Structure 1
Amino acid sequence: MTVELERWRASVDSGGSEETLMRRSMDELDFVDSVRNRNGSRSPKRVAAMAVSICAVVLGAIVLLRTSWQSKSGPCGQILVRRFESYTGLGSEYGVFLRAAALSVEMGWTVVPVTTDWIYGNLDNFFVPPSYGCVLPPDLLNDVSTYKEFGTEGWERADRLQLTRNFHPLLHLDGLIRDRSIDPEAMHRLDMKQRLWSLDKEHLTLPYGESVPHGVDKAFLEQADALKRLWVPNAKMQAQIDRLATRIGLHQARSTRRPVVAVQVRLGDKKTELDDLQRVGSHMQLYASTPMPQSPATLTDARSDDMNVYFQAIQVAVGRLYEPDLTPGAFPRPTAGSQKPLVVVMTAEPGVTEQLSALDKHNEFDFILTPSSELTAAQQEEYNRVFNSTSATRAMHRRWDQKDLEKASLSLRLALTRQLIAELTVYSRMADAFVVSGNSNLGRLALTLAGEEGALGLPGQRIFGGRVRSIDVPFYPTTWRTSIFA
């Protein structure tokens, strides 16, 4: 874990701000150096002396400010240590940390992530280390096991807490979010709306404008603000993000490029995800909810209806990009010579891109699969071996398994994590549209990364939604969707 103190910003007790100190110093230098040489310019020696003096004054001001700030920064108050665990996915594990961080301002916590043993790699490998406005104790991580577990009796009075994935601490965290940031009346209306959707067999996809439902928007914005502070890629990670954006054309001016739409396809593998789909009134069918087909051909047929839903969502997302009322700086209507919109498929399931392309009967789009991989030859060979991605069949099936990641080397795990972070960042913050699955932790993280306008939509036009849209389950700011309903 890397701990970095917040940059000094305080004013100096006796001398005012850094700006006033520097301004007064410059005036003094001008006064003592007001005698010019015979040709009207200062001598080289005097210019050099002045430069040295300026540097000395600036350094002195910095030292004075830093000393003053550090003298005012006392030890941290209640510290909440969040040690990332390895047996859950990146979106799930990071989400727990993000929810605690979003509450930290109101609760007075200092939330410290510890990821030295995380299967996806230390967060410092990808992000600028977080800053703190207080002094962390040097023995903070000596024995975290002795810390009071958050949410248990007496936790409010403890100086040091640990937040685990145990059921009751997470349930307590959900309760704090619900009590402080969720509108219960709006949740009642959402519940009634979803009950009506469950009666409508034609209700497959979540409508635009419902991705972040009214009533959880305050909690959403709190988490989005926390993510702005935390999700700050370091130089290496930012370089990979830039390369991905360039590959799919997003670094070109909109007037000279084609629309770029990303789609996250999550076939679903957890019972909770299937339950969430039913509770929100969607009649989509996830692969995990149907028996395993006996042949690849049957498997492809079994998934075709669901892929139709995703394909239609892509069509709608692209169509909005030509509407000035929905998209600021809308794209010009396509003509016979126009480039086709690019659809970037983000998925861990083989066969998805081929299925979507097969549904494109009128050749409307160009489909590509996650063009962000930067694996070395050795990493690619290991990836094919560990994840068994060289299977002769291209039929669709759920491939991703956390246990497979545990078999991979640290080098491959870091490379795959960088790829995932690059995709989430580029598609959420830069793509013209992004269709995601809200019953996926990564889908909800994408909505949060998109921020207020990207996920909620333009001010005054929230009913139309934003660039990033959930296809199935509305965003919920808690560990479990049911927590928002008390």
Structure 2
Amino acid sequence: MHRRTPSSRSVSSSSQPLLPLPSSHDSAHHAHRAPAPRSNPRRTRQLALVVVIALATLVLLARRSAPRDGTSSSRESDTPTTTSNRLSLTRLPSRIKDTASLLLSLRPFSSSSPSLPPPTAPILLAPLARPTEISYAEPWVYEADPATLPPCERILLFTFMPWWGFASEYILYARAAAAAKKLNYTFLEDDRNWNYGRLSNYFLPRTLSCVPPSDWSNPALAIPLSPSSASSSPPHARLKYSRLNLGDIDDWTRETYLSSPGTQADLLALQESDRAHRVQGDRWILGEGETLPEAFAEVFGDQSEWVRENWRVAGAVREGVESVRRAVGLDAPRWLADEEGEGEGRGPVVAVHVRLGDKASEYEHDAEEMGITNSFGNLTVYIEAAHDAYRRLIPSPYPAFTSSSSSDPDTDASARFSPYAPPTLLLITAEPSIPSRLREEVRLADPWRVVQTPGVESQDEGGGAAEERLRKEGGGAGGRPKAYAAAAAAAGTDKMVKIVSPPSRRSLDSGYTQQSFNALPLLSRIAHTQAFVRDLTLLARSGEEEGVDAAVVSGASNVGRLAMLIAGREAVMGPRDEQTGRPLGGRIRSVDAHFYPTAYSSAVYTKVEDVEDLENKAFVPEEQHQKEVEAQAKAQGRRRRGRGRGRRGK
């Protein structure tokens, strides 16, 4: 591959290095210095930059030592009200021309306290075009003429439910598929009533090498997947799994993957470690290397293998991925550390996914389980993790995310970026308040070029009859695990940051909740989901494939755990310490909950009963609601006719 020729010009203000900020809990490396410019005679500017970074570090340390309640300072900021700059995909520069404008600096001291200048507003990419068609194609095709294929001997059916979140349902889907593969069953999915539409709107079809029976989608003909049904002899011809028998696959997972003496010892150590952090209250962020515990490595590997094989996005989603990659600059060559002068190409890109909305109860449960003290909605830990990732992407004593895979640094994923290459923080969120909060609350995000992925092209997305039904029913959540519901009313009141969302006439403009999503028309739901799958692909895939260089997620969110499965085991665990053999953490990291392979985090230790939650009734999409109304009307008609025949027979 052709090597880029380093520029012979002196380093200008457009190539000042952005230095990593050390973690306060990693005191062994506090003395680390970022590399100095190799050809910069302007020592005064260099000294000023060091002072600026030192002040930024002090501010970060002050934030970490303060109570982590996620609240903003009481001092009013004089920042402008505009929260973002909207650029078309063709106008976004590949790198910032004036890096110094992104660095923190202090105004003259006032009589009270120093104040920070208005931060650079996040760049919000212009929305992409909405889809105009809905696919109703099956999620699988035959690998050959079905007349030449044998009948399927055994099938495992997964039925998609019409009300829960995408990542929540997809993880159950992947778990069932991985179980089918391990048990040597042909896996079939029925996605006809899914609230997100058919899988073919987002993914390429799978291939089948056998022909299922004509009534394959009838769940009444199958036995629920459980430890006993999975081990029966002879094997059952048909097994099934869905959210309706949620805990059964948890029981099977514990028995199949987590029951060996070695794994039980790892589980006990994990439980004791989480309990110790909970008692001591010293864990505000999950450490690097803790995202995927060793006890879950095998089951994670099986689930991730299936997800990675089948996460092949459809054409419409692929076009969106490529458009955002070009806009952010991910398609440009990397500006590597061995290039002198101003260099060429892009800097490191770290994606951050923030999910708030209706996920507070799940976060509170997992945070309590794992001893996380950070408040739900506090963004500081996300920026802290982004800085931790950045220092591993430039020359530093910290380990690279991967080992060297190529002698050519242009294609070697472990090659470090130049410290002069401006980094980008790719923000992925459906919460409208996050860009302004990132600017106003987390001031140390300023060294980054913050770019938010494009949303869906604005339209009046009112759900009509569904929206009216949502108001009448009081907005049943349908997005909270039923086993958490009993304690949800009292949980987390001391660990939540109240998010005030602006009113809007379009359902998702004021933030994402499952019931507001389900109230949208089907085409709008598909449009939003294609954007979501696009962003998740960018976040989870590595830079050499199609995505970012590192990613920060919440493991308490199903989205975060799905991103881990898409990324793969090496991307989550990373290299290992040469002395201890423990994982050092990969390019995708959770800030709160570690991965767990069950529906509930506590289900890895013991059985969790899935209880009915009448206060948290699901809000289904309008087309599904109409089907239910029609089915109820038909059933009532049959009962009336039956009563009429009974009276006539007397």
TM-score, scaled to structure 2: 0.56
Output the amino acid matched with 1:326: A
The residue number in structure 1 matching 2:453 is 370
Q: Structure 1 residues 154, 226: CA separation in 2 closer, same or farther (over 3 Å shift)?
A: closer
Output the amino acid matched with 1:370: T
Shift of 1:248: 1.5
Q: Structure 1 residues 152, 270: CA separation in 2 closer, same or farther (over 3 Å shift)?
A: farther
Shift of 1:459: 5.8
Q: Structure 1 residues 3, 204: CA separation in 2 closer, same or farther (over 3 Å shift)?
A: closer
Output the amino acid matched with 2:443: D
**Kept after mapping to 2: 8 A contact 1:209/1:465:** yes
Question: Residue deviations 1:276-303, cap 9 Å, x none?
Answer: 111101111225xxxxxxxxxxxxxxxx
Q: Structure 1 residues 125, 3: CA separation in 2 closer, same or farther (over 3 Å shift)?
A: closer
**Kept after mapping to 1: 8 A contact 2:363/2:376:** no
C-alpha separation in 2, matches of 1:362 and 1:96: 35
Q: Does 2:225 match 1:150?
A: yes
The residue number in structure 1 matching 2:382 is 310
C-alpha separation in 1, matches of 2:157 and 2:432: 38
Question: Given the alignment, which residue of 416, 420, 425 partners 1:330?
Answer: 416
Q: Does 2:550 match 1:472?
A: no
Q: Does 2:309 match 1:229?
A: yes
Q: How does 1:343-354 map to 2 (within 5 A)?
A: 343-354=425-436
Shift of 1:464: 1.7
SS in 2 for 1:127: coil
**Kept after mapping to 1: 8 A contact 2:288/2:585:** yes
SS in 2 for 1:464: coil
Shift of 1:139: 3.0
The residue number in structure 1 matching 2:197 is 121
**Any unmatched runs of 5+ in structure 1?**
9-65, 288-305
Shift of 1:175: 1.9
**Kept after mapping to 2: 8 A contact 1:95/1:445:** yes
Output the amino acid matched with 2:448: F
Q: Structure 1 residues 423, 191: CA separation in 2 closer, same or farther (over 3 Å shift)?
A: same
C-alpha separation in 2, matches of 1:362 and 1:135: 54
The residue number in structure 1 matching 2:294 is 214
Question: Given the alignment, which residue of 555, 558, 572 partners 1:441?
Answer: 558
Q: Does 2:255 match 1:179?
A: yes
Shift of 1:3: 5.9
SS in 2 for 1:276: helix
The residue number in structure 1 matching 2:71 is none
C-alpha separation in 2, matches of 1:398 and 1:174: 35
Q: How does 1:127-206 map to 2 (within 5 A)?
A: 127-141=203-217, 143-151=218-226, 156=232, 157-166=235-244, 169-182=245-258, 183-206=263-286
Output the amino acid matched with 1:277: A
Of residues 416-425 and 153-162 in structure 1, the stretch that sits farther from structure 2 once superposed is: 153-162
Output the amino acid matched with 1:159: A
C-alpha separation in 2, matches of 1:127 and 1:199: 45
**Kept after mapping to 2: 8 A contact 1:81/1:113:** yes
C-alpha separation in 1, matches of 2:224 and 2:439: 50
The residue number in structure 2 matching 1:427 is 539
SS in 2 for 1:82: strand
C-alpha separation in 2, matches of 1:362 and 1:454: 24
Between the aligned residues of both structures, percent identity stands at: 27
The residue number in structure 2 matching 1:14 is none
Q: How does 1:391-470 map to 2 (within 5 A)?
A: 391=503, 399-429=511-541, 430-458=547-575, 463-470=583-590
C-alpha separation in 1, matches of 2:281 and 2:561: 25
SS in 1 for 2:156: strand
The residue number in structure 1 matching 2:132 is none
SS in 2 for 1:382: coil
Q: How does 1:210-289 map to 2 (within 5 A)?
A: 210-255=290-335, 256-267=345-356, 269-287=359-377
Considering fraction of residues, name the structure with more helix. 1
C-alpha separation in 2, matches of 1:332 and 1:171: 49
**Kept after mapping to 2: 8 A contact 1:5/1:134:** no
Shift of 1:105: 1.9
The residue number in structure 1 matching 2:393 is 321
Output the amino acid matched with 2:225: F
**Kept after mapping to 2: 8 A contact 1:259/1:342:** yes
Shift of 1:264: 1.3
Output the amino acid matched with 2:223: K
SS in 2 for 1:283: coil
C-alpha separation in 2, matches of 1:214 and 1:383: 46
Shift of 1:4: 4.2
Shift of 1:145: 3.8
Output the amino acid matched with 1:160: R
Higher relative contact order (CA 8 A, sep 6+): 2
Output the amino acid matched with 1:283: T
C-alpha separation in 1, matches of 2:205 and 2:151: 19
Question: Residue deviations 1:415-444, cap 9 Å, x none?
Answer: 100000000011111211110000100000
C-alpha separation in 1, matches of 2:139 and 2:389: 42
C-alpha separation in 1, matches of 2:140 and 2:317: 19
Question: Given the alignment, which residue of 160, 165, 174 partners 1:89?
Answer: 165
Q: Does 2:138 match 1:2?
A: yes
Q: Structure 1 residues 323, 203: CA separation in 2 closer, same or farther (over 3 Å shift)?
A: farther
The residue number in structure 2 matching 1:108 is 184
**Kept after mapping to 2: 8 A contact 1:383/1:412:** no
Q: Structure 1 residues 470, 384: CA separation in 2 closer, same or farther (over 3 Å shift)?
A: farther
Residues paired across the two proteins, number: 393
How much is the aligned-residue C-alpha RMSD, in angstroms? Answer: 2.8
C-alpha separation in 2, matches of 1:262 and 1:441: 17
The residue number in structure 2 matching 1:485 is 605
**Kept after mapping to 1: 8 A contact 2:227/2:255:** no
Shift of 1:178: 2.1
The residue number in structure 1 matching 2:647 is none
C-alpha separation in 2, matches of 1:190 and 1:369: 36
C-alpha separation in 1, matches of 2:524 and 2:213: 34
**Any unmatched runs of 5+ in structure 2?**
1-136, 336-344, 402-413, 471-499, 542-546, 607-650
Question: Residue deviations 1:116-156, cap 9 Å, x none?
Answer: 22111100111111112322123323x43443333397675
C-alpha separation in 2, matches of 1:283 and 1:459: 27
C-alpha separation in 1, matches of 2:139 and 2:530: 21
